[in-house]
Amino acid sequence: MKAMILNRPGEAFTLGDRPDPHPRPGEAVMRVRAAGVGLTLINMRSERFGGITPRVMGHELGGDIVAVGDGVTGISVGDRCAVYFYLTCGRCRWCRGGRETLCENFGGYVGVHRDGGFAEYVCLPAENFLPIPDGLSYEVAAVAADAVNTNWHCMRERARLNPHDTVLLIGAGGGVGIHGVQVAKLFGARVIAADVSDEKLALARQWGADETINVRSVANVAQEAKRLTGGKGVDAAVDYVGHGETFKTAIESLTTSGRAVIVGVGRGEVTFNPFGLVLTEQIITGSRHSTRTELIETMEVMARGLVKPVVGMRVPFTEVETIFEALLNETLLGRGALTYPAT
Ligand SMILES: [Zn+2]
């Protein structure tokens, strides 16, 4: 099969040939029909998530099951499926409790610790394939499987949004953030979108943001968020960027009992006043991807048209490098998507 191969960390992909995969017991093979591309892959390509090269990356995937190994139940040849990103054990207390992103026997990530879907076929544990509901395209299912389900988990379980809340989204114009705007609106919150360019903020407004902050044109983002909330601060702040400075802004923007949630995987450190947490019962926390259940729910919600995919660029999978360039140049609006040969 054709595959885009990462030969060394940080390098560009090269088009190469790999043997067609055959499923071992408990595994299945999917013919890839669509893939999503976002900023997480930049971090993965530089090996920040571990893994070894040569590697076929790509974890936001939709396609058709073409082979199943011995002992596989629940999915069959011909099923349309999306891919779940995490390789988890299914047996530990976190997996059994429905919080498998915290798996004690974590096996790593699809596209990092085993080959992903920037190739014609992908072979994974059968549990990593989830059926795509009727009416949902392969591409939308692919985008659901990271750019949207991450927000589904974040807004409901970590930011705990209610219709009376105001939420600040830092990096709202990015590939995950722009879907966060939609999910936050779906939970009824008033959304303040913050990002680095008017173009990204216009996109955020187009998808439902009530207020916007251009972080390059205000002196202090937290103060601006307070001004937009009558001096009180926001009930929740989600940081998609994940630098020390941006998360500090998230914390400083909060009102009493507010929740600061980090999603992005940037770098840096942040300091805060612990006594302030005693007085306010504010919560500082992280949000880690999504469970399988949440991916199923996300696809159902998207099949109903309640959250729409925002795809800013679409190229054949053999040209994935052009999307990586757009990500690095910060010119990609929304998610990138890859197309695959029809036969
Ligand atoms: Zn586990």
Among 238, 245, 213, 241, smallest CA distance to 227 is for 213
Residue-wise pLDDT for 104-144, tens only, equals 999 999 999 999 999 999 999 999 999 999 999 999 999 99
pLDDT of residue 331: 86
**CA 88 to ligand 1 center in whole angstroms:** 5
- Count of CB atoms situated within 10 Å of the CB of 13: 22
Is residue 118 in a domain? yes
Same domain, 9 and 128: yes
Q: Enumerate residues with CB within 5 Å of ligand 1 (an ion).
A: 88-89, 92, 95, 103
Same domain, 282 and 318: no
Is residue 197 in a domain? yes
**CA 170 to ligand 1 center in whole angstroms:** 31
The answer to whether residue 286 scores a pLDDT higher than 90 is: yes
Segments of the chain assigned E as strands: 2-5, 14-17, 27-37, 60-68, 80-83, 121-125, 129-131, 166-170, 190-195, 211-214, 234-239, 254-262, 283-286, 311-316, 335-339
Q: Which two tokens stand for residue 5?
A: 């191969």
Same domain, 180 and 239: yes
**CA 102 to ligand 1 center in whole angstroms:** 7
The answer to whether residue 343 scores a pLDDT higher than 80 is: no
**CA 116 to ligand 1 center in whole angstroms:** 21
The pLDDT confidence band at residue 219, using thresholds 50, 70 and 90, is: very high
Same domain, 220 and 238: yes
Number of structural domains found in the chain: 2
**CA 101 to ligand 1 center in whole angstroms:** 8
Asked if 247 contacts 239 with a C-beta cutoff of 8 angstroms, the reply is yes
Residue-wise pLDDT for 48-101, tens only, equals 888 889 999 999 999 999 999 999 999 999 999 999 999 999 999 999 999 999
Same domain, 54 and 142: yes
**CA 50 to ligand 1 center in whole angstroms:** 19
**CA 8 to ligand 1 center in whole angstroms:** 30
Q: Provide the mean pLDDT of the chain.
A: 96
The pLDDT confidence band at residue 187, using thresholds 50, 70 and 90, is: very high
Same domain, 131 and 30: yes
| Mean pLDDT of the 244-257 span | 97
Same domain, 326 and 306: yes
The boundaries of the domain holding residue 69 are 2-148+290-339
The pLDDT confidence band at residue 46, using thresholds 50, 70 and 90, is: confident
**CA 289 to ligand 1 center in whole angstroms:** 15
Same domain, 136 and 231: no
Among 117, 123, 183, 121, smallest CA distance to 147 is for 183
Residue 305, H or E segment: none
Q: CATH number, domain at 297?
A: 3.90.180.10
- Count of CB atoms situated within 10 Å of the CB of 199: 13
Same domain, 191 and 131: no
